[in-house]
């Protein structure tokens, strides 16, 4: 451990020069070891997946404005949103729900738009005019280069409807459904990568018991006919948060037919679903409780994965955390924009912690889909008519895109604790990965809203001499980007990392995310 005896004074001067020194933490260096000599599993890029449900302004106004809109668009998709999504390399999009999916008839959403039926959106209120349907979704994915993940209607649908939907999308021959697709404007079949067989089958998907659902899953799985050489990955509807009994039963009864099983977990700042807390007006107690919620993902994955190990020790079956994020009260004045919430620096820190945890479990977690992509819950992007703003969460996905398909490198963190009242959590969170070009990326997150840290990063098994970094922070825990002030929380160049005696010393500001590229 001789490498740790570096010049602490120099490190503290570094912090002071950035104006972030704090009495409380001065002298208490945090030690991070990156085990570059012990590479782990690949961080599947699909961990950076998105979820887009037909609700509120998630689709209409957020992604789809129609070809005749005065808002600049590409064949009906907002150009600003498409460009922003491309920039973060969205790897996969889950659609059309959510709870919406188990009441969705795919046939409503194909054919001439002006002839599509208008239905009640029974899950989320308002009306669904079906202008955004199968063609619009599959073409959007193609436009931004994302894989496709359809949630299949199991609650009120049938295996026949599912098979026909899959055939409509993927058939290359001269079947009636392929002809119908061509008549509707798409000659070539699309690539369908994933299907979810039902959504939250324990709740809005049909209030099923796991034993019953396992049989229903087996029935549906039997009738998934993928085109030759283009397998469709089948994802079973998994547990709500810590309900490991659900995972256990479904894995035991249907595990051999499952490619992945899902897990849903939302962080509610107050812990009370009837009053979840504000996205913008919160105190340090709720800052802490929200970060604790994000940290809980580690235990959740470990517990579900341990149950899966009983039936699948080789980890053939993936865990797909296909709904996660912070869920607050709806933004006052959001009107019919259901589940519209603002997004602060707290969301960014929380997202970074969660992504770190997914990396650490990359051997089991093969996909994750934050809820949701635009204008709903912990969104990447908010829109209001022609205006658009990128959220702090967006910028974490932007900084972290370097981890997509990187090889995870184990990381130990010692010496940092953030305390608030009687509660304490690790003060610094970290992750690391090596990309295909050999560059090692290290992310450091400071959970403490008041104290900067000096972080000494030791890179075992790596000879490196150059470092570049980016920093995401803001003046307040509650700092947000608005349509009028869109640049309050956005990444800046970071020059607070220096090599010396084989150790990288990082002056990590309070409440911040730093991503370093090390060569
Ligand atoms: O993301 C919002 C809702 O949360 C989804 O529709 C549902 O699956 C979950 O309960």
- The pLDDT tens digits of the residues spanning 368-420 come to 999 999 999 999 999 999 999 999 999 999 999 999 999 999 999 999 999 99
Q: What is the 3-state secondary structure (H, E, C) of 461-476?
A: CCCCCCEEEEEECCCC
Pairing of β 318-326 and β 365-371: parallel
Q: In the structure, what pLDDT confidence band is assigned to residue 28 with cuts at 50, 70 and 90?
A: low
Q: What is the pLDDT of residue 8?
A: 31
Q: How many angstroms separate the CA atoms of 340 and 56, rounded?
A: 7
What the block records as the tokens of 215 is 């049989």
| Best of 122, 262, 264 for a ligand 1 pocket test (most atoms within 8 Å of beta carbon) | 264
What the chain holds in terms of domains, given with CATH numbers, is 42-405 (3.20.20.80)
Q: Are strands 497-500 and 492-494 parallel, antiparallel or unpaired?
A: unpaired
- DSSP code string of 382-398: EEETTEEEE-HHHHHHH
Q: Is the pLDDT of residue 112 over 80?
A: yes
* Encoded tokens for 349: 């820190």
- Give me ligand 1 centre to Cα 412, in Å: 34
Q: Among 117, 190, 200, 113, which residue's Cα sits nearest to residue 152?
A: 200
pLDDT of the residue at 19: 33
For range 456-472, the mean pLDDT: 95
Tell me whether residue 200 is one of the annotated catalytic residues. Answer: yes
Mutate-to-test residue for ligand 1 from 53, 203, 327, 375, highest number of ligand atoms within 8 A of CB: 53
Quote the pLDDT of residue 29: 84
pLDDT band at 6 (very low <50, low <70, confident <90, very high): very low
Q: What is the pLDDT averaged over residues 155-183? A: 98
The preferred substitution site among 50, 103, 324, 371 for testing ligand 1, maximizing ligand atoms within 8 Å of CB, is: 371
User: Taking the C-alpha atoms of 419, 420, 423 and 427 in order, what is their torsion angle to the nearest 10 degrees?
Assistant: -30
pLDDT band at 24 (very low <50, low <70, confident <90, very high): very low
How many angstroms separate the alpha carbon of residue 66 from the centre of ligand 1? Answer: 26
Query: How many whole angstroms from 99 Cα to the centroid of ligand 1?
Result: 6
- Position 334 pLDDT exceeds 50: yes
For residue 263, which of 309, 232, 298 has the smallest C-alpha distance? 298
Per the residue annotation, which of 136, 167, 323, 488 is the catalytic one?
A: 323
Query: Could you tell me what percent of the chain has a pLDDT over 70?
Result: 95
Residue 465 has pLDDT above 90, yes or no: no
d(CA 136, CA 185) in angstroms, rounded, equals: 11
Kindly report the protein residue whose alpha carbon is nearest to atom 6 of ligand 1: 98
Q: Give the range among 12-21, 183-192, 216-225, 456-465 with minimum mean pLDDT.
A: 12-21
Q: Which residues pair with 340 in a beta bridge?
A: none
Give per-residue pLDDT as tens, 495-511: 999 999 889 999 999 99
Q: Which atom of ligand 1 approaches the CA of 371 most closely?
A: 1
Report residues whose beta carbon is within 6 angstroms of any ligand 1 atom: 53, 97-99, 199-200, 323, 371-372, 377
Please compute the mean of the pLDDT values over residues 237-258 and round it to a whole number.
98
Q: Give residue-wise pLDDT tens across range 426-435.
A: 999 999 999 9
| Summary mean pLDDT of the chain | 94
CA of 58 to the centre of ligand 1 (A): 12
Closest residue by Cα to atom 9, ligand 1, is 98
- What span, in angstroms and rounded, lies between the C-alpha atoms of 327 and 277? 9
- The Å distance, Cα 323 to ligand 1 centre, comes to 7
List Cβ neighbours of 143 (8 Å cut-off, separation of 6 or more): 74, 77, 82
The model's pLDDT over 119-135, given as tens digits with 9 standing for 90+, comes to 999 999 999 999 999 99
| pLDDT > 50? residue 23 | no
The predicted pLDDT at position 502 comes to: 82
Mean pLDDT of 185-195: 98
284 included as an active-site residue? no
What residues pair up with 468 in beta bridges, in sequence order?
A: 517
* Cβ-contact 141, 88 below 8 angstroms: no
Residue 20 confidence class, pLDDT cut points 50, 70, 90: very low
Give the other-Cβ count within 10 Å of 145's Cβ.
11
Residue 286 has pLDDT above 80, yes or no: yes
């Amino acid at each position: 451990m001789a490498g740790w005896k570096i010049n602490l004074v120099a490190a503290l001067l570094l912090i002071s020069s950035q104006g972030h020194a704090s009495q409380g933490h001065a002298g208490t260096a945090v030690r991070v070891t990156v085990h570059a000599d012990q590479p782990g599993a690949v961080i599947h890029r699909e961990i950076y997946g998105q979820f887009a449900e037909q609700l509120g302004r998630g689709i209409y106004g957020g992604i789809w404005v129609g070809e005749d809109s005065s808002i600049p668009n590409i064949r009906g998709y907002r150009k600003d949103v498409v460009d922003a999504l491309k920039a973060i390399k969205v790897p996969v999009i889950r659609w059309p729900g959510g709870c919406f999916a188990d009441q969705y008839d795919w046939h409503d959403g194909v054919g001439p738009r002006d002839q599509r039926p208008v239905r009640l959106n029974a899950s989320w209120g308002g009306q669904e005019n079906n202008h955004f349907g199968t063609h619009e979704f599959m073409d959007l994915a193609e436009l931004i280069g994302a894989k496709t993940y359809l949630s299949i209607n199991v609650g009120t649908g049938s295996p026949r409807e599912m098979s026909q939907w899959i055939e409509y999308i993927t058939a290359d021959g001269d079947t009636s459904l392929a002809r119908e697709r061509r008549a509707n404007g798409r000659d070539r079949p699309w690539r369908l990568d994933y299907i979810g067989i039902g959504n939250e089958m324990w709740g809005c998907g049909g209030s099923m018991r796991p034993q019953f659902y396992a049989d229903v899953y087996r029935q549906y799985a039997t009738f998934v006919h993928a085109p030759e050489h283009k397998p469709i990955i089948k994802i079973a509807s998994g547990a709500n948060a810590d309900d490991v009994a659900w995972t256990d039963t479904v894995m035991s009864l249907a595990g051999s037919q499952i490619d992945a099983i899902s897990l849903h977990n939302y962080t509610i700042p107050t812990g009370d679903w009837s009053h979840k807390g504000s996205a913008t007006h919160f105190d340090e107690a709720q800052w802490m409780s929200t970060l604790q919620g994000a940290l809980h993902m580690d235990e959740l994955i470990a517990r579900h994965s341990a149950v899966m190990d009983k039936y699948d020790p080789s980890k053939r079956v993936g865990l797909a955390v296909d709904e996660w994020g912070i869920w607050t009260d709806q933004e006052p004045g959001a009107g019919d924009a259901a589940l519209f919430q603002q997004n602060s620096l707290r969301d960014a820190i929380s997202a970074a912690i969660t992504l770190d945890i997914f990396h650490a479990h990359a051997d089991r977690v093969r996909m994750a889909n934050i809820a949701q992509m635009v204008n709903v819950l912990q969104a990447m992007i908010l829109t209001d008519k022609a205006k658009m703003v990128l959220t702090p969460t967006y910028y974490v996905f932007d900084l972290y895109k370097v981890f997509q398909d990187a090889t995870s490198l184990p990381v130990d963190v010692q010496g940092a604790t953030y305390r608030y009242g009687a509660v304490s959590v690790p003060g610094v969170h970290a992750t690391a990965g090596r990309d295909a070009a050999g560059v090692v990326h290290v992310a450091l997150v400071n959970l403490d809203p008041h104290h900067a840290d000096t972080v000494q990063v030791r890179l075992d098994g790596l000879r490196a001499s150059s470092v570049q970094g980016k920093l995401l922070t803001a003046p307040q825990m509650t700092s947000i980007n608005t349509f009028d002030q869109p640049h309050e929380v956005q990444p800046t160049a970071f020059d607070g990392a220096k090599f010396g005696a084989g150790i990288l010393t990082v002056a990590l500001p309070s409440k911040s995310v730093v991503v370093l590229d090390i060569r």
